[in-house]
């Protein structure tokens, strides 16, 4: 039996002349991982192959050591929350969850118990007995989460669960994923918003134009941040004096003076930050705030995909 929950080996998928995934190879042992990429990066194709609903054009996709496509034995082991709605609108939320549990082989009191537990966990119990056609977007999102969790899957896949969600839903989804991680569950979350995924997991996979651009923990991705050029903003009432001092620093390649702020560009951020306190002390110049718009995951994502 494979030690990995997910294994992709040179997986490629194309639609006509359009390549959605290009030669993706990865191993995922478990835990919570964020699948990050802009719209059109190939995230949904990746997840459809992972859930067995789509066959790779080339390569091998394994889930728990078995081929994902056309493998009904895997369906009960996977929970999938899609980015789109696909409900039986005439049903109540409870009926919908119970129907899907029936497909997974649950019946009678056990089916009802599991449905109630899942609806309670995602805070959907209060509207679970209303018809789905009257649900708001937030209610629909909670219902999708409930059906994905109800059969207690070994692997939970969430496709853009925060897309278009209101602040309350966002908070609840983030809290839910963090709780699942603490329980030792395996969860893959796709998103195009880096800071939201960072709030749920330190494990990241960056996908761009069908290719894996980077993979690792936040600290490793932040190591990439320190390897690309930074812009640094220094707020000071003596902008021209500070600019004159920083212009002599060999680590500074660009410099701009604004209203109460000096912005520099450096390809050596670590060395620049290390030397800056002494430079300011020697010059005797007041600096009220130092910030870098490039010191975050959005910046490294832009750097990896545009650089």
What pLDDT tens digit does each residue of the chain (307 aa) get? Answer: 457 899 999 999 999 889 999 999 999 988 999 998 878 889 999 999 999 999 999 999 999 999 999 898 898 999 999 989 989 999 999 999 999 999 999 999 999 999 999 999 999 999 999 999 999 999 999 999 999 999 999 999 999 998 877 778 888 999 999 999 999 889 999 987 777 788 899 898 988 889 988 888 876 766 665 667 788 899 999 999 999 999 999 999 999 999 999 999 998 887 888 889 899 999 999 998 888 766 555 566 666 666 5
204 with 240, same domain?
Answer: no
| Mode of pairing for the β-strands spanning 186-191 and 155-159 | parallel
pLDDT at position 245 is 95
Range of the domain at 281: 229-304
What total number of domains does the chain contain?
A: 2
Is residue 115 situated within a structural domain?
A: yes
Instruction: Tell which residue, 218, 169, 201, 190, has the closest CA to residue 48.
Output: 190
Residue 34 in any domain: the answer is yes
Note whether 129 and 168 are same-domain residues.
Answer: yes
pLDDT at 270: 76
Name, in order, each residue with C-beta under 8 angstroms of 196's C-beta and a sequence gap of 6 or more.
162, 170, 174
Residues 284 and 152 grouped into a single domain: no
Cβ atoms < 10 Å from Cβ of 206? 23
pTM metric for this prediction: 0.76
Of 168, 191, 224, which residue constitutes the final position of a domain?
224
The CATH number of whichever domain residue 296 belongs to comes to 3.30.70.100
Q: Among residues 182, 209, 224, which one ends one of the domains?
A: 224
Q: Is residue 210 domain-shared with residue 97, that is, in the same domain?
A: yes
104 and 168 share one domain: yes
Q: Tell whether 66 is covered by a domain.
A: yes
Q: In which element (H, E) is residue 6 found?
A: strand 6-15
**Residues 134 and 13 placed together within one structural domain of the fold:** yes
Specify the CATH number for the domain of residue 176: 3.40.50.300
| 1 is a domain residue | no
């Amino acid at each position: 039996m494979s030690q990995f929950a997910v294994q992709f080996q040179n997986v490629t998928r194309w639609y006509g002349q359009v390549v959605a995934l290009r030669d993706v190879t990865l191993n995922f042992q478990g835990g919570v991982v964020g699948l990050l990429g802009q719209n059109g990066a190939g995230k949904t194709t990746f997840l459809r192959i992972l859930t067995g609903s789509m066959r790779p054009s080339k390569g091998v996709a394994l889930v728990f050591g078995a081929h994902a496509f056309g493998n009904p034995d895997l369906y009960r082991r996977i929970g999938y929350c899609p980015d789109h709605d696909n409900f039986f609108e005439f049903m109540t939320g409870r009926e919908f969850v119970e129907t899907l549990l029936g497909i997974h082989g649950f019946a009678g009191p056990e089916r009802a118990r599991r449905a109630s537990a899942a609806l309670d966990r995602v805070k959907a119990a209060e509207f679970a007995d209303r018809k789905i056609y009257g649900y708001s977007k937030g209610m629909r999102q909670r219902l999708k989460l409930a059906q994905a969790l109800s059969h207690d899957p070994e692997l939970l896949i969430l496709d853009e669960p925060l897309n278009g969600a209101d602040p309350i839903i966002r908070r609840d989804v983030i809290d839910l994923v963090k709780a699942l991680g603490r329980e030792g569950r395996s969860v893959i979350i796709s998103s195009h918003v880096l800071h939201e995924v960072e709030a749920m997991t330190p494990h990241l996979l960056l996908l761009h134009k069908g290719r894996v651009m980077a993979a690792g923990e936040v600290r490793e991705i932040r190591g990439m941040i320190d390897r690309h050029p930074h812009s640094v903003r220094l707020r000071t009432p003596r902008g021209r004096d500070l600019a004159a001092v920083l212009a002599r620093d060999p680590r500074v390649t660009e410099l701009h003076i604004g209203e109460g702020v000096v912005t520099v560009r450096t390809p050596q951020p670590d060395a620049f930050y290390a030397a800056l306190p002494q430079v300011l002390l020697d010059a005797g110049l007041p600096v009220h705030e130092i910030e870098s718009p490039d010191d975050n995951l959005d910046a490294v994502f832009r750097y990896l995909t545009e650089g």
